[in-house]
Structure 1
C-alpha cells in the first residue's frame, strides 16, 4: 500500500520487451535505501516488485495485464518516473490509500495556470471510472495523491489542481495536453460502488453471497 506522496523522480535506464511483457530497470537513489528483493515500489502509480537491484538501480517485471492497462507500455530509456516505496505501518499518512492497482489511463486535455496552481483536465479512457471520481474526493494520477477539483461527466473529463511543490517534485512538470496518465480511483469509493451494484442486482448479489445477517452470524460477528 502507498500514500500517493512521491519520494523522487527516477529515470528509466533500460527496458527489455518480450511481446506484452517487460523488464524495466530504473535509476533511483532514495527508494533504494534499505531495499530488498520482493519489495514493492510504485512506478508511475503501478505497484511493481523488485526482482534485482544494485547501488543505483532496481529492476522489476511488468506482466502483460499491466502492460495493456497502464502507460508503462509507452516508456523509453530516459523517461522520468514517479517513485514511492510501500508505506511503513508507523509512518504518517499524508496522502490517501493508494494500492498501485491502476483502473485505467487518461489523456491530459488541457493544462492551465491560475495564480500558484496548475489545473490539469483529464479525460479517462473508461467512462465507468466516473462512478468513483467525485468532486473534492481523492484520485491518483501517475501515483500522485490529488484532490478532484471538478467533474464534467457529460463532457467526459475531470480536473485536478496541483500546487507548486507537487508539480516540481513529480513527472507532471513534464506533461501537457496529449500526454497520458495512469488513473487509480479511491479504493473506498470502489468498494461502495461494488456493494451498491450488488444490492441493485439480486442475482449478482446471490452469486457473490451478499452481506447478510446470516453471513455475519455464521462468522461470529453477531449472536
Structure 2
C-alpha cells in the first residue's frame, strides 16, 4: 500500500530482456539507502519488488502483463520514474490509499501552463469514468492528485510547482502514456451500487 506521495524521481540505468518479462535497474539515490531485498516499491505507480541492490541502484522484474498494461513497457535507459516506498506502520497518510495496481493507461491530451502552475488534461478508458469525479482522488504514474473536472473519457488535474519539479509530470509531453489508478473507495462504491441494482 502507498500514499501517492512521490519520494524520489529515479532514472532507469539499464534494461535487461528476460522473456517474457524484463529486468529494470533504477538509480534510486538516497531512497536505496534503507532498501532491502523483497521490499515493495512503487515505480510509476506499479508495485514491484526489489530483487537486487548495488549501492544506490535497485533492480526490479516486470512480467509480461505489467509491461503490456502499463507504461513500463515503453520505458528505456535514462527514462525518469516516480519512486515511493510502501507504507510502514505508523506512517502518516498524506495523499490517499494507492494499491500499486494499475487500472488502465491514460494519455496526455492537453497541457496548459499557468506559471508556476500547470493544468493537464488526460484521456482515460471510458470504463473508468464512473470512478473518476471532480474533487476526487486519482493516482497518475503513482502521484496522488485531485481531479479538477471529469467527463466520460477525460479529466483535468492542476499541478503545483513542487509536483512539477519533483515528479515525471513536469516532463510529460502531449501524447505521452501515463499509468492510472482510480480511488479504491470509488471502486467499492461502484461495486456496491452494482449489487444493489441487481437485487
TM class by smaller structure: over 0.9
Q: What is aligned with 1:97?
A: 97
Number of corresponding residues: 199
Q: Normalized per residue, which structure has more strand? A: 2
Report SS of the residue matched to 1:192: helix
> How far apart in 2 are the matches of 1:30 and 1:180?
27
Single out whichever of 15-24 and 184-193 deviates more from structure 2: 15-24
Report the Cα offset of residue 34 of structure 1: 1.4
Note if contact 1:7-1:30 (Cα within 8 Å) is conserved in structure 2.
Answer: no
Q: What is aligned with 2:172?
A: 175
Give CA-to-partner distance per residue, 1:112-156, whole Å, 9 cap, x none: 0225321110001x2111110010000000000000000122xx2
Q: What is aligned with 2:130?
A: 131
Report the Cα offset of residue 31 of structure 1: 1.9
Report the Cα offset of residue 16 of structure 1: 1.5
Matches within 5 A, 1:24-103: 24-103=24-103
Instruction: Detail structure 1 runs of 4+ shifted over 3 Å in the superposition.
Output: none
Report the CA distance shift for 1:15/1:115 in structure 2 as closer, same or farther (over 3 A): closer
Report the CA distance shift for 1:20/1:118 in structure 2 as closer, same or farther (over 3 A): farther
> How far apart in 2 are the matches of 1:178 and 1:77?
20
What is the CA RMSD across the aligned residues, in angstroms? 1.2
Q: Which has the larger radius of gyration?
A: 1
Report the Cα offset of residue 20 of structure 1: 4.2
Structure 1 unaligned spans of 5+: 203-223
> How far apart in 1 are the matches of 2:56 and 2:33?
10
TM-score (norm 1): 0.86
Q: What is aligned with 1:165?
A: 162
> How far apart in 2 are the matches of 1:97 and 1:12?
26
Give CA-to-partner distance per residue, 1:57-106, whole Å, 9 cap, x none: 11111011211110000011010010010112211111000111100010
Task: Using CA pairs under 8 Å that are at least 6 residues apart, name the structure with larger relative contact order, 1 or 2.
Answer: 2
